[in-house]
């Protein structure tokens, strides 16, 4: 096992909330290895924001412990804050300033020397493909460019762990893809750990591991591939020269029951990639086309939360970094 960038044991948050207290996070355990991109998913109200806020030292836990970059989020708050970057849903750029001025202000907050700030600002602007716009007022930027600049700002002080809360929400698919390209670049070229919440299942595919939270608990945690293979089987659909014979041969030679669905011979198998070559060598029937459909992360989400992620979408509560909430 590698080094842990995030280590959480029994983390709990109970909001007093007037009459009945709300148990937003119910004693969760988590471990994120350094250098991983870690996806944190769940329906609205599952407790994701509360968890991320506790990890970022914005909220105090009611019970349990969390260490981020090796430091305790309650007892060593300043050490944690110096080592993390935050990109939250709420827009926090100063629109009157240029891209570079926004980054410089942030670099000064983190105590970077002038020379270090110059170097890092150049690097992060390059990273998010805004180097040629460094002198432009942010007011003139599109939504996608602003988001990229927010990510650049989260990276200026070279954090060990970057927290992203819904970094692509409300953006068009092309801009979403561009932002994930940048995150992918970080994953491949730096040792940064990325902890990201998202409502987009296609984005969760980019993560090394995924945790799904529901009702304040982690309901499942694994790699995207392992999660998909847990919930089901691959479906193979064939067009053949003799469907009846194909079905018989699949049963006799592969020991698998096949049936006809929507005009195609269809069978369910654990690993489609292994079975397809055998169909060609063992069936003795002409095969005109083969499609293999894998279970998706949507299927995983549905299995573990009883909802699709789209069903669970709703208005987002704005969150403000370091707003001193307790």
User: Does 17 contact ligand ATP by CB under 6 A?
Assistant: yes
Considering only CA atoms, which of 281, 275, 307, 306 is closest in space to residue 293?
275
Residue 14 sits in the site that holds ligand ATP (CB under 6 A): no
* Minimal distance, residue 220 CB to ligand ATP, in Å: 15
Residue span 261-300 as binding mask against ligand ATP, x where in contact by CB under 6 A, dash where not: ----------------------------------------
Bin 307: left if φ > 0, else alpha if -120 < ψ < 50, else beta: beta
Q: CB under 6 A: which stretch of 45-53, 117-125, 153-161, 217-225 binds ligand ATP?
A: 45-53
Query: Residue 309: which residues within 8 A CB-CB, separation 6 or more?
Result: 41, 43, 199, 200, 201, 298, 301
Rule CB under 6 A: say whether 15 interacts with ligand ATP. Answer: yes
Select the residue interacting with ligand ATP from 8, 38, 41, 47 (CB under 6 A): 47
Counting contacts by CB under 6 A, is residue 316 touching ligand ATP? yes
What residue has token string 């460094």? Answer: 134
* Closest to 304 in 3D by CA, of 187, 237, 240, 222: 222
Angle at 79 between CA 36 and CA 106, to 5 degrees: 85
Whole-number minimum distance, CB 116 to ligand ATP, in Å?
A: 34
Which residues 19-38 are close enough to bind ligand ATP by CB under 6 A? 22, 24
- The stretch among 47-55, 100-108, 149-157, 236-244 that binds ligand ATP (CB under 6 A) is 47-55
Strand partners, 37: 194
Stretch that binds ligand ATP, among 28-36, 43-51, 104-112, 201-209 (CB under 6 A): 43-51
- Shortest gap between Cβ of 94 and ligand ATP (angstroms)? 25
Q: Does 198 bind ligand ATP (CB under 6 A)?
A: no
Cβ at position 148, least distance to ligand ATP in Å = 22
CA separation for the pair 159, 34 (Å, rounded): 12
Residue number, nearest CB to ligand ATP:
49
In angstroms, the CA 108 to CA 288 distance is: 64
Nearer to ligand ATP, 42 or 85 (CB): 42
Name the 3-class secondary structure at 41.
strand
CA atoms within 13 A on the CB side of 213: 26
Which residues lie closer than 8 Å to 231 by C-beta, 6 or more apart?
295, 299, 300, 303
**In the set 27, 35, 45, 232, which binds ligand ATP (CB under 6 A)?**
45
Which residue ranges make up the site for ligand ATP (CB under 6 A)? 15, 17, 22, 24, 42, 44-50, 316-317
């Amino acid at each position: 096992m590698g080094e842990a960038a995030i280590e959480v044991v029994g983390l709990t948050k109970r909001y007093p909330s007037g009459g009945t207290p709300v148990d937003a996070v119910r004693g969760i355990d988590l471990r994120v290895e350094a250098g991983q991109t870690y996806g944190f998913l769940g329906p609205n109200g599952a407790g994701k924001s509360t968890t991320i806020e506790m990890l970022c030292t914005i909220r105090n836990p009611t019970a349990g412990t969390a260490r981020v970059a090796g430091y305790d989020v309650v007892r060593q708050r300043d050490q944690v804050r110096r080592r993390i970057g935050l990109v939250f849903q709420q827009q926090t750029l100063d629109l009157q300033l240029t891209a570079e001025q926004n980054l410089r202000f942030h670099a000064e907050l983190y105590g970077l020397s002038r020379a270090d700030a110059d170097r890092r600002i150049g690097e992060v602007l390059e990273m998010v493909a805004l180097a040629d716009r460094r002198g432009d007022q942010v007011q003139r930027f599109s939504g996608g460019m602003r988001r990229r600049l927010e990510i650049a700002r989260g990276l200026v002080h070279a954090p060990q762990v970057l927290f992203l809360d819904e970094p692509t929400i409300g953006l068009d698919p092309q801009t979403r893809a561009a932002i994930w390209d940048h995150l992918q670049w970080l994953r491949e070229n730096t040792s940064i750990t990325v902890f990201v919440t998202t409502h987009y299942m296609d984005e969760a595919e980019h993560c090394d591991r995924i945790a799904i939270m529901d009702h304040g608990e982690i309901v499942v945690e694994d790699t995207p591939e392992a999660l998909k293979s847990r919930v089901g089987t691959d479906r193979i659909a064939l067009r053949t020269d003799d469907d009846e014979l194909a079905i018989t041969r699949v049963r006799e030679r592969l020991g698998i029951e096949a049936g006809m669905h929507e005009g195609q011979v269809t069978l369910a198998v654990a690993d489609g990639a292994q079975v397809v070559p055998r169909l060609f060598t063992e069936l003795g029937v002409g095969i005109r086309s083969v499609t293999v459909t894998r279970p998706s992360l949507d299927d995983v989400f549905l299995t573990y939360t009883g909802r699709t992620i789209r069903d669970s979408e709703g208005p987002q509560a704005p969150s403000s970094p370091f707003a001193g909430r307790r």
